[in-house]
Amino acid sequence: MNEFVVSLNKKKYSIKISEDGHAEINGRTVLVDLSQINNSAFLLKVDEKPYEIASNKLENGRYGFLLDGWYFDTMVRTKLQEHASELMRNKMRESHKAEFKAPMPGLVLKIIKQKGASVSIGDPLIILEAMKMENELRSTASGIITGVNVKEGDSIEKGLIIMTIEQ
């Protein structure tokens, strides 16, 4: 069974999809059938009622859906991703200052967000080259960047505080 949390219009919906074609949406079970028409178009049947859907992936788990002429901007996360996001939000409430540390040693190729920039959880902050691979490091906190402790071209060690983010 796949479990998701979908955020739509500031409301969250718990969705569980089973292998037998049933979906549970906030405790209500419906019969679903999804057929892909092309890369971004789908035919969704909910309890035998058909819906045409066009979708596109935006960024950071956000999707845009066009459903029978209505556009929806949604956030789709697995139950585990949503739980991790809630833990990070709670951590930020406890501490108004977050230190973004290097998860591995490497070479700073590009600093995407500078001091004074507003960031959200999951926003790309820096591109770090490690073991000949480019790694896009993303923010673990939301707020304003109050300090950048590296510059492009710097070699850094694991655990070095790269940026400070304050809520």
3-state secondary structure 55-83: EEECCCCEEEEEECCEEEEEEEEEHHHHH
Q: In what order do the strands lie in the sheet containing 143-148? A: 97-101, 161-166, 143-148, 118-119
Alpha-carbon distance of 156 to 68, in angstroms, equals 51
Region 151-161: mean pLDDT is 93
Query: What is the predicted pLDDT for the residue at 151?
Result: 94
Q: H or E element: which one contains 163?
A: strand 161-166
> How sure is the predictor about 167, in pLDDT bands with cuts at 50, 70 and 90?
confident
Of 113, 126, 167, the closest CA to residue 144 belongs to: 167
Copy the structure tokens of residue 150.
């590296």
Of 81, 64, 61, 55, the closest CA to residue 2 belongs to: 81
pLDDT digits (tens, 9 = 90+) for 88-108: 777 666 557 888 899 899 999
Query: What is the predicted pLDDT for the residue at 83?
Result: 86
Query: What is the predicted pLDDT for the residue at 149?
Result: 95
pLDDT digits (tens, 9 = 90+) for 30-58: 999 989 999 889 998 999 999 999 998 88
Distances (CA, A) of 165 to 13, 62, 119, 158: 30, 23, 8, 18
pLDDT over 90 for what percent of the chain?
52
Range with the lowest mean pLDDT among 59-68, 88-97, 144-153? 88-97
Per the model's pLDDT, the better-predicted residue between 23 and 61 turns out to be 23
CA–chain centroid gap for 12, Å, is: 15
pLDDT over 70 for what percent of the chain?
97
- Domains of the chain and any CATH numbers: 2-80 (3.30.700.30), 95-166 (2.40.50.100)
Q: What is the mean pLDDT of the chain?
A: 89
Query: What is the predicted pLDDT for the residue at 95?
Result: 56
pLDDT digits (tens, 9 = 90+) for 26-37: 999 999 998 999
Residue 89 DSSP SS3: helix
